Amino acid sequence: MSYSPNLLKGQKALVTGASSGIGEAIARALAASGASVAVNYHSEQEAAEKIVSDIKSLGGEAIAIGANVAKEEEVLSMFDQMYQHFGTIDILVNNAGLQKDSAFVDMTLDHWNLVIGVNLTGQFLCAREAAKEFLKRGVKPDISSAAGKIICMSSVHEVIPWAGHVNYATSKGGIHMMMESIAQELAPHRIRVNSIAPGAIKTPINKAAWDTPEAEAKLLKLIPAKRVGDVTDIAKAAVWLASDDSDYVNGETLFVDGGMTLYPGFATGG
Ligand code: NAD
């Protein structure tokens, strides 16, 4: 995949949870499209530094910033570091997320709070900080026709219930309403807020679902396109949502799922 190096020229982007998987691919794609990128990591500093050095070796600009997105003081410090290095923010990709799966009756309060804390509260905290800066700075027409863009990483599980993953599905359902409510509130300020809802994408978060032929065959029954998604499928969507090419798109969830939300069980008559 080749990206246009001028598409996001002069824009400053922050991608949370960017040391692996979808976040890493988005960080690399935004950089290839000309943005300066802050690569947020939680514990994988080495991986984040490697992504930064790869981006720099291709002529891009990047920094790694450690922060737990569920902790307010760490989020505030991350944005401070971003502003010290890049001066401002134009694009926030709220990507960090995790799963702590169990049968509903065995789900501990700790695991409930952890997943809601990272997947939902973490997105709230980062979106709030980015929005403050967008409102303060306003539109810079030579940079973008928007005052700022927020992309929330949701999931098909914002609409598909998921037994054994009640905390995760709840967090993604919450992102749906949070994203639309922020978009409604901030649209008059030329701030765009959208979500991407991936289907099954090959990353560390769901390795058990695709890393054996048996597991992959089972997973493919849920995917009309008959292939498991690649991180670049999501990165391409993120670049589009971050760019002025999607200037009139606001408050939308873009499902990138190979048709997973098409009720595949009904394909043969149900
Ligand atoms: P991943 O495990 O590779 O990425 C998740 C990233 O979040 C990791 O880099 C991890 O270090 C980071 N992270 C976790 N807790 C954090 C915290 N407290 N603070 C900061 N960062 C933290 O998995 P992924 O599949 O790339 O997941 C990325 C996003 O995509 C998640 O929000 C996930 O829910 C969503 N998603 C993934 C799929 C899929 O099939 N892979 C499908 C739908 C949605």
Counting every residue written for the chain, the total comes to 270
What's residue 85's pLDDT? 98
pLDDT of 22-39, one tens digit each? Answer: 999 999 999 999 999 999
- Mean pLDDT, to the nearest integer, of 130-149? 98
State how far the Cα of 270 lies from the Cα of 263, in Å rounded to an integer: 9
What's residue 268's pLDDT? 87
- CA angle at 179 for the pair 178 and 181, rounded to the nearest 5°: 65
Residue 201 CA: which ligand 1 atom is closest? Answer: 40
- Mean pLDDT, to the nearest integer, of 52-65? 98
Q: In what order do the strands lie in the sheet containing 62-66?
A: 62-66, 36-41, 12-15, 91-94, 148-153, 191-198, 253-256
83: pLDDT strictly greater than 80: yes
- Mean pLDDT, to the nearest integer, of 52-61? 98
The verdict on the CB of residue 258 being under 6 Å from ligand 1 is no
Pocket-testing residue among 50, 65, 205, ligand 1, by greatest number of atoms within 8 A of Cβ: 205
Which has the higher per-residue pLDDT, 188 or 270?
A: 188
What's residue 269's pLDDT? 79
Smallest CA separation from ligand 1 atom 18, residue: 68
State how far the Cα of 21 lies from the Cα of 135, in Å rounded to an integer: 31
241: pLDDT strictly greater than 90: yes
- CB within 8 A of 206, min separation 6: which ones? 99, 200
Residue 25 CA: which ligand 1 atom is closest? Answer: 26
Q: Give catalytic residue positions.
A: 168
- Mean pLDDT, to the nearest integer, of 191-201? 99
Residue 171 CA: which ligand 1 atom is closest? Answer: 34
1: pLDDT strictly greater than 90: no
For residue 236 the two structure tokens come to 């391409």
What's residue 2's pLDDT? 86
The verdict on the CB of residue 20 being under 6 Å from ligand 1 is yes
pLDDT of 101-126, one tens digit each? Answer: 999 999 999 999 999 999 999 999 99
36-41 and 12-15 beta bridge pairing? parallel
Ligand 1: centre distance to CA 95 (Å): 6
270: pLDDT strictly greater than 80: no
What's residue 81's pLDDT? 98
